[in-house]
Amino acid sequence: MSVATATPQATSGKTTYLNHDKSIRSWLLTLDHKRIGLLYLSTIVVVFLAAGILALLVRIELLAPGRTIVDAQTYNQFFSLHGILMVFLVIVPSVPAILGNFIMPLHIGAIDVAFPRLNLASYYIFMVGGVLVVIAMVVGQIDTGWTFYTPYSSRLGAPVIFMTLAVFIAGFSSILTGMNFIVTIHKMRAPGLTWNRLPLFVWSIYATSIVQVLATPVIGITMLLLLLEKTLGIGIFDPAMGGDPILFQHFFWFYSHPAVYIMILPAFGIISELMGVFSRQEVMGYKFVALSSVAIAFLGFLVWGHHMFVSGQSTVSSVVFSLITYLIGIPTGVKVINWVGTMYKGSVSLKTPMLYALSFLFLFTIGGLTGVMLGVLGVDVHLHDTYFVVAHFHYVMMGGTIVALIGGLYYWWPKITGKLYNETLGRIGCLLVFVGFNTTFFTQFVLGSQGMPRRYYDYAEKYADLHALSTYGSWILAVGLFVALYTFIQSLMRGAPAPANPWGGASLEWTHTTSPPSPHNFEEQPIVTHGPYDYHHFYAGDGQSVEAELASRSEA
Amino acid sequence: MGDKGTFWLPESASTVSGDVDSLFYLVTWISVVIFVLVVAAMVYFMMRYRRHHAGQVGAPAHESKWFEMSTVVVSTILVLIVFTWGFRVYLKLNIAPPGAYEIQVTASQWKWDYTYPDGTVYAGDLHVPADKPVRLVMNSIDVLHSFFVPQFRVKQDVLPNRYSSVWFEATRADTFDVYCTEYCGNQHSGMLGQVIAHPQEEFEEWLASAGGGGLSPEEYGERLFGQNNCNTCHSIDGTRLVGPTMQGLFGSQRQLVSGESVEADENYLLSSIVAPAAQVVEGYPPAMPPSYGSLPQDQLDALVAYIKSVQ
Ligand SMILES: [Cu+2]
Ligand SMILES: [Cu+2]
């Protein structure tokens, strides 16, 4: 049986994608999906740091009522930039662009994505968007929040033009990457890799790509209309010119709700992989998990109105949107049960990636349940636009997507860099992130249900204690994230060489190539004979050698 | 104040807030139960099936179709119950009882103005009769705002191009918070006010005196200066806020960004309020909202009289 005999090769002295050409030029003009993944990784880490620092500044300002460090105008810019950077330049692109690029072709046994040049072009388009954001920041005064609601946003000048243009352009990168991935997954799977054997990560990237291709043009058009309104003075959204601000909200959420799934579906994929590998167990309900991603991707287009229950849209539409929102909630809930159930009768190992996966389950369950609470019409009226909403989406976006991304980075780190990381440090980082995150954001649920509105520079004395607690939490969270960053940097500098399959995974990136992989991914065309979580099958063939290999790997 | 609220919710003081609260707690408790089950299963599996030696693989686990089916069915039923209940509360929140007392609300950056059926315009706080349904018909003269009274559990966005409405009935005479919950710029978090619910007769007395009757122009102006949130940007003691202080303003020489220098007489004060962009003082941003141009003439007169008196 071919799989089991694919014993990992020694890495030392081999040509890998990292060392075959070390010039800067070869990095900047690379067509290799792995290197492009790393280009995205480095860019996104920088933006994440910047947006994270803004978040810390926002929290420090809110440490006490009244002015703490900056004035209202600056504060409003801080939270707006934090939101814009995090949403459009970090969370939306992160998992597909970094891990999707790096891992997906390996997962399907391909030598690259279908259109490598387009892939590189997507990266540079993304960079143009990023540069425009920086210009907008330098030109000044973006204080619209990440939602750019009209007519407030229509009254601001040049910076909003740059910012909307940036979102518009970054959107193209998203569309092109999505198309590239769809074609790759359809056309470039290794022989024997049927749809039923596709790793769930690939399924989720596939579903995400569909949403990217279908939804992103809408935000493009919206931003374009906003631009036309501002530059040519055509009244579209601004009532002063005869436009309709609610129309903007419809357009905006028609993109931004599906975008929520662009942000969370890839995280689901990572969690499926982690739960499988670290439980050495078939992922429970494989078919359900795979197809529900696709179902969620489509249903996600039908619920945008749940952001607008108090906006003045008709009662009937609110009711319909509320109902469909629940329909999405159900498959998502069943997925959580499937992930937990994967540990049943498994062989559970609590390495750092698994700790992140378990944190994800904890945090995402809270995020999901509070999402359902917000979908309840009568309750949402009270909770809408309060800190409850802020807490909810941080639980989903940060506790969900970012936590899954970090877990995924730890998991694939040995494959990506060929180095092992320090397990103890990794775990400490995870613990700090978990504690810090909950301290920061759980308090915000209470603040919100007590009536504290979001985007407030100043607040009443009665909210002061909870706000202070939330700020302290943000410091713990920041320390946790820096510990994680340090773990990665330390591993790069001094990490022990990683074996090809340190976790005993059963998918192609572990069984059929070295760590790090060679420039062309696989020495020869892999042939797939079993499912991605078929650990029994995998170990049955040559259990001995894998065990020896696992034992011999330096304890980290 | 009777009831002080709970850990989760502020005090409840309208005829609909009780319904909203029961629903809130129902959903919260269902969520808590589900969450505890999920986490308990997670922790149990994590300990029970911990890996003991490196090569250990999970034992084959057979999926139970019944289990999956039943989770789907149970959650669908729960969801439909919650949905229907949520829908009924929502209707109640949305449909004002016939005969409600109507007040016009005008939102602008960054204040609330209330116009009563007798034509009285009152800024800042909303005075209403208690134990009587009140319906607000709202409109904005600039950007989006949102009217939120946490103790009543009601909220409604206020739009520039159409009317929106919200209703409530305060269950006792007391003071409650009004927040703007749709981001509207610089002073968004300062766009606050109060709902002051009076017993019926007291409310009528208040309404009769609300127009400034019985006050000197300076006193009326002082009240308006607070109600219109002028004091969030202008101090009366020399402190520099967003805008210049009012202390000693009257009669002084003002250096404008246009380069000219003018004397701050009555006309200057008036035009600074109704058309702030026309004469911008040097050293300050043109941040004063233009919305005060719509204040009634008697209120403008009172404001000017007040500013003159701040020495
Ligand atoms: Cu949504
Ligand atoms: Cu506001």
User: What is the ipTM metric for this complex?
Assistant: 0.88
Q: How large is the C-alpha radius of gyration of chain A?
A: 23
User: Would the pLDDT of A549 be above 50?
Assistant: no
Q: What is the tens place of the pLDDT at every residue in A78-106?
A: 998 899 899 888 999 999 999 999 999 99
User: Which has more pLDDT, B208 or A267?
Assistant: A267
- Test A376 with B46 for CB contact under 8 angstroms: no
pLDDT at A354: 96
Least confidently predicted of A271-285, A523-537, B29-43, B90-104: A523-537
**Domain assignments of chain A as residue spans, ordered by start:** 24-555
SS3 state of residue A554: coil
Q: Which CATH number describes the domain made up of A24-555? A: 1.20.210.10
**Cα angle A294, A392, A64; round to 5:** 155
Residue A375 Cα to ligand 1 middle (Å): 9
pLDDT at residue B148, as a whole number: 95
Helix or strand holding residue A427 (H, E): helix A423-449
pTM of the model as a whole: 0.85
**Percentage of residues in chain A with pLDDT exceeding 90?**
47
Give the C-alpha distances (Å, rounded to integers) separating A490 from A351, A432, B247: 18, 18, 61
pLDDT, residue B29, reads 94
- State mean pLDDT over A212-222: 85
Q: Token pair for residue A241?
A: 């010119």
Averaged pLDDT score across all residues of chain A? 86
Ligand 2 center to B285 CA (angstroms): 20
* Side chain identity, residue A192: G
Q: Which pLDDT does position A3 carry in this prediction?
A: 37
Tokens linked to B222: 């002082």
Is residue A547 very low, low, confident or very high in pLDDT (cuts 50, 70, 90)?
very low
Name which of A10-14, A141-145, A451-455, B92-96 the model is least confident about.
A10-14
Phi and psi at residue A183, to the nearest 5°: -65, -45
| pLDDT range class, residue A312, cuts 50, 70, 90 | low
Helix A423-449 to helix A464-494 angle (10° resolution) is 160
Choice between A230 and A121, residue whose per-residue pLDDT is larger: A121
Are residues A149 and B183 in contact, defined by beta-carbon separation less than 8 angstroms? yes
Q: Does the beta-carbon distance from A384 to B182 stay under 8 Å?
A: no
- Residue identified by tokens 């606050």 is B192
Give the model's pLDDT for residue B213.
Answer: 65
- Per residue in A471-530, pLDDT (tens digit) is 999 999 999 999 999 999 999 999 999 888 888 888 889 888 888 998 888 888 888 888
* E strand or H helix that includes residue A204: helix A200-232
Which residues have a Cβ under 8 Å from the Cβ of B77 and sit 6 or more positions away?
none
A21-30 residue pLDDT tens: 888 888 888 9
Q: Which of B307, B299, B308, B309 is nearest to B122 (CA)?
A: B299
Both tokens of residue A286?
């494989």
Q: From edge to edge, which strands make up the β-sheet containing B193-198?
A: B126-129, B193-198, B175-180, B145-149, B154-158
Q: Are B76 and A330 inside 8 Å of each other by CB? A: yes
Question: A35 or A1: which carries more pLDDT confidence?
Answer: A35
Separation between Cα atoms, residue B7 and residue B10, nearest integer Å: 8
Whole-angstrom distance, CA of residue A256 vs CA of residue A238:
20
C-alpha A47/C-alpha A86 separation (Å) is 8
Q: Return the sign of the alpha-carbon dihedral for residues B82, B88, B90, B93.
A: negative
Q: CA A521, A523, A525 angle in degrees (round to 5)?
A: 85
Q: How far is CA A59 from the centre of its chain?
A: 23
In this predicted structure, the answer to whether residue A32 has a pLDDT above a threshold of 70 is yes
The pLDDT of residue A39? 94
pLDDT over 70 (residue A6): no
Exposure string for A52-63, b = 16+ CB within 10 A, e = fewer? bebbbbbbbbbe
Ligand 2 centre to CA of A458 (Å) is 12
Contact (CB, 8 A) for A165 and A132: yes
pLDDT tens for each residue of B142-191: 888 999 999 999 999 998 878 989 999 999 999 999 999 999 888 899 89
Query: What would the two tokens of residue A405 be?
Result: 């991304």
The whole-number pLDDT of residue B3 equals 54
Closest Cα partner for A125 from A63, A96, A168, A92? A168
Question: Exposure of B53 by Cβ count < 10 A (0-12 exposed, 13-18 middle, 19+ buried)?
Answer: exposed
Chain B residue numbers touching A143 (CB-CB < 8 A) = 185-186
Nearest-CB residue to A72 (from B5, B85, B187): B187
Backbone phi and psi for residue B138, each to the nearest 5 degrees, phi listed first:
-115, 150
Q: Pick the closest to residue A264 from A172, A310, A324, A328 (CA basis).
A: A328
Q: CA-to-CA distance for B299 and B311, rounded, in angstroms?
A: 20
**Cβ pair B243, B279 in contact under 8 A:** no
Residues flanking ion ligand 2, Cβ below 5 Å: B 145, 180, 184, 188, 191
DSSP-based three-state secondary structure for A338: helix
- Residues in chain A with CB shorter than 8 Å from the CB of B31 are 369-370, 372-373
Segment A267-280 shows an average pLDDT of 93
The two structure tokens encoding residue A84: 């814009």
pLDDT greater than 90 at residue A206:
yes
Residue B242 reports pLDDT greater than 70? yes
Q: Are B198 and B210 a contacting pair, CB within 8 Å?
A: no
What's residue A545's pLDDT? 44
CA distance B274 to A47: 44
Alpha helices in A29-115 (DSSP H): 33-61, 72-84, 92-95, 101-107
